[in-house]
Chains A and B, each alone.
Chain A
Amino acid sequence: MSLLSRRSDLPLKGDPNSRFLPWLVALMVYLSSIAVACVLVLAGLVERWDHDVSGTLTVQVQPVPGEAGELLTDDRVRQAADLMRRTPGVTAVRPLDKRQTLALLEPWLGSAELVKDLPLPRLIDVSIDTAVRLDLGGLADRLGKSVPGATIDDHRVWLSRLINLSRTTEWVAIAILVLIGFVTSATVVYATKTGMSVHRSVIEVLHLIGAHDDYIARQFADRAFSLGFSGGMIGLAMAVPTLTAIGWAAKRVEGGFLPSLSVPLSGWVVVGLLPVLAAILAMYTARLTVHGVLSRMP
């Protein structure tokens, strides 16, 4: 670890920064690890659910009772089928006529002769391109509005809504990660500027002796790296038990529809890298800050 033991001409060790920066980074790494775990777990769930809702689905159209019911129902089936055909991602639409529906039901209801006068719902078989993700929730809403009595397979619609929620949550978690990065950077900028004004006279001497800006910037950067790294390790140490506990809790509630709530291996790798990422972020931020401040000096 030559970076951590490199000589420094600036007395940065005793700065007040040394005390608060690692704790701040620790907190940030802790929060990031939870956000990262959140994103990865949700991404895993969405992938499974996506698989479940793709392929084929069935539209039901409730029959209209009464004398003219038959014709009206046929009309609605046609409307629903048209709407499905106009939906992007739908590859085939096959309305089943009454005879076919009865044939489907025969194993349960017995001879078609007996049930042919019952008001049976009519079915439409719809094939979906598996590469396209359909917003079934929205589709179901549109279908219900334009064709009275037409519905899509409930379980699927519900999963689709869950997928939408998960995706939104994923984006929120990613936004939180970006925000954490900004906050960490802003703090490092502030700490570096404070450090520079504390050591102003030393910096001036280094300049007069012929030091380049980068010679000075690297010393601040090295310090920020080691503070960021040690803080990041503290954050990691706090995050591991939390994530493990969440994993355990998830295993208990794991029912049919929450396939795997525990953090995947890739998640642990990313979480393990967070202290290094935080340290590198702190290092570059400090270096750029010093260059920025020095370039405005005479």
Chain B
Amino acid sequence: MRHRPRGQHIIRFEGVGLRYGLGPEVLQDVDFALPAGSFHFLTGASGAGKSSLLRLMYLGLRPSRGRVTLFDKDIALTRRYELPALRRRIGVVFQDFRLLDHLSTLDNVALPLRVRGVKESEVQKHVPELLSWVGLADQMHSKPPTLSGGQKQRVAIARAVIGRPDLLLADEPTGNVDDHIAMRLLHLFEELNKLGTTVVIATHNQFLVDRFSQHSRLHIERGTVVEPEDEA
């Protein structure tokens, strides 16, 4: 086996391919590794496979081939009961939010804490704090169906970051908000990144990518992750 220094990378893809059912390979020969504490934009045309790549990263899918190593664990060799511990280190903002419609904003954001068994007093302290930070203090007891797209997005983001994840994966997290709020959310992600969280943001918002150009990019083209050509 190849020698590889441990703990350097949060996540590593080696020769990964993915197909849905019997369809063609959506991703192929994907090779990359993200150093701990790094910040990345994941770019690519619509349908390029950004969401699919994130799904592989948050263990929502298993690769059809190749190896995914997450927090130094080979996912193919990981037992089912070990998955929750890995998933708790990951915060995900889903492209379609995936909020639970029957739960209030507060309960939605509290979920990651509650599945960890965090004390209710802690939950009642931290969740409202974060909700006011993302500007939803007065929507605490509303349910998702009554919220606007942008508000839902912020609830989804709050739920992803409440557990202070080691890895934050966000799928088009600024798709439904105006640039002003998008900037604010990006700053939230940067704050988290400064505290040590590795961040990957899938986006097609060129304005943001340009505005935060100090961050590295993962670009998907023809089903694989490539080094982005610098803007011409």
On A, residues with C-beta under 8 Å from B are 7, 9, 11, 201-202, 205-213, 215, 295, 298
Residue ID in chain A nearest B85 by CB atoms? A210
B49 — which chain A residues lie within 8 A by C-beta? Answer: none
Alpha-carbon distance between A205 and B100 when the two chains are bound, in angstroms = 8
The distance from the CB of A219 to the nearest CB of chain B, in whole angstroms, is 11
Alpha-carbon distance between A123 and B92 when the two chains are bound, in angstroms = 94
Does B60 lie within 8 Å of A209, measured CB to CB? no
Decide if B111 is an interface residue (CB 8 Å cutoff).
yes
Does B92 lie within 8 Å of A208, measured CB to CB? yes
16 A–B contacts from the bound complex (CB under 8 Å): A9-B100, A9-B107, A9-B114, A201-B98, A205-B98, A206-B115, A207-B84, A207-B87, A208-B58, A209-B115, A210-B88, A210-B112, A210-B115, A210-B116, A213-B80, A298-B62
Q: How many pairs of residues, A versus B, come closer than 8 Å at their CB atoms?
A: 49
Residue ID in chain B nearest A205 by CB atoms? B98
Residue ID in chain A nearest B159 by CB atoms? A209
On B, residues with C-beta under 8 Å from A are 58-60, 62, 80-81, 83-85, 87-88, 90, 92, 98, 100-103, 107, 111-112, 114-116, 159, 163
Does A9 lie within 8 Å of B103, measured CB to CB? yes
The distance from the CB of A201 to the nearest CB of chain B, in whole angstroms, is 7
Alpha-carbon distance between A138 and B139 when the two chains are bound, in angstroms = 82
Does B87 lie within 8 Å of A9, measured CB to CB? no
Does A209 lie within 8 Å of B112, measured CB to CB? yes
Residue ID in chain A nearest B92 by CB atoms? A208
4 further contact pairs, Cβ within 8 A, besides A11-B102, A208-B92, A213-B81: A207-B84, A208-B87, A209-B88, A212-B115
Interchain CB contact (< 8 A) of B87 among A201, A210, A295: A210
Alpha-carbon distance between A210 and B102 when the two chains are bound, in angstroms = 20
Residue ID in chain A nearest B117 by CB atoms? A215
A212 — which chain B residues lie within 8 A by C-beta? Answer: 81, 84, 115
Alpha-carbon distance between A215 and B112 when the two chains are bound, in angstroms = 12
Alpha-carbon distance between A211 and B59 when the two chains are bound, in angstroms = 13
The distance from the CB of A284 to the nearest CB of chain B, in whole angstroms, is 20
